[in-house]
């Protein structure tokens, strides 16, 4: 057990607050179940197997929220806009992505504040990924 000296404030990352790796893996797994059945999004993913894409997104989100830095150890700097450039992320793709993400977030059982924190980020990030006009 870690000893926490009296009078110190225990600082927790958002990653830890929401339940760590298990929570992010659940989120991304549920999200990719949605992608797998989506006629617009599924063909955008170049690999037959969505498993590796699921792993990359899970590791990225874990790192972003203060968890292990495995994503960057494997993939380098995220540069997400650049990495999405080959894919036609238009308004429809953006909306579909967020629809599946919303369903996945809903199943996490987060507090209202945690939900708002995560969702605000995801909606801003999704908007910033749009790279094609309608
Ligand atoms: C707005 C709609 C979006 C679409 C249609 C989309 C689609 C894609 C596609 C087709 C890939 C390639 C699959 C792969 O090889 O990993 C990908 C990769 C990825 N996406 Fe998205 N994406 C979207 C938004 C986002 C957002 C908002 C984030 C972050 C919050 C994100 C994070 C990632 C990450 C981390 C990867 C893997 C990058 C790598 O290391 O190669 N994406 N996305």
Q: Whose CA is nearest to atom 41 of ligand 1?
A: 83
The pTM for the full model equals 0.94
pLDDT of residue 29: 98
pLDDT, one tens digit per residue, over 96-117 is 999 999 999 999 999 999 999 9
Cα 126 to middle of ligand 1, angstroms:
9
What number of other Cβ atoms are within 10 A of residue 107's Cβ? 11
Tell me which residue of 26, 89, 79 sits closest to 54, measured CA to CA: 26
Q: Whose CA is nearest to atom 27 of ligand 1?
A: 126
pLDDT of residue 99: 98
2 falls in which pLDDT band (50, 70, 90)?
Answer: low
Cα 6 to middle of ligand 1, angstroms:
43
Q: Which residues line ligand 1 (CB under 6 A)?
A: 41, 44-45, 53, 56-57, 60, 75, 80, 83-84, 87, 89, 93-94, 97, 125-126, 129
pLDDT of residue 4: 63
Contact predicate 5/56, CB 8 Å: no
Contact predicate 80/119, CB 8 Å: no
- Average confidence score pLDDT of the chain: 95
pLDDT, one tens digit per residue, over 23-79 is 999 999 999 999 999 999 999 999 999 999 999 999 999 999 999 999 999 999 999
Contact predicate 78/60, CB 8 Å: yes
Contact predicate 23/108, CB 8 Å: yes
pLDDT of residue 129: 98
Q: Which atom of ligand 1 is nearest to the CA of 59?
A: 35
């Amino acid at each position: 057990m870690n000893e926490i000296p009296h009078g110190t404030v225990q600082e927790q990352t958002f990653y830890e607050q929401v339940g760590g790796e298990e929570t992010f893996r659940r989120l991304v797994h549920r999200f990719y179940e949605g992608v797998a059945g989506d006629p617009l999004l599924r063909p955008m993913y170049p690999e037959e197997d969505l498993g590796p894409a699921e792993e990359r997104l899970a590791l990225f989100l874990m790192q972003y929220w203060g968890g292990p830095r495995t994503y960057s150890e494997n993939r380098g700097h995220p540069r997400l806009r650049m990495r999405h450039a080959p894919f036609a992320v238009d308004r429809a793709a953006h909306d579909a992505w967020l629809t599946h993400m919303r369903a996945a977030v809903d199943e996490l059982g987060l507090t209202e504040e945690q939900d708002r924190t995560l969702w605000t980020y995801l909606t801003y990030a999704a908007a910033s990924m749009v790279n094609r006009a309608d």
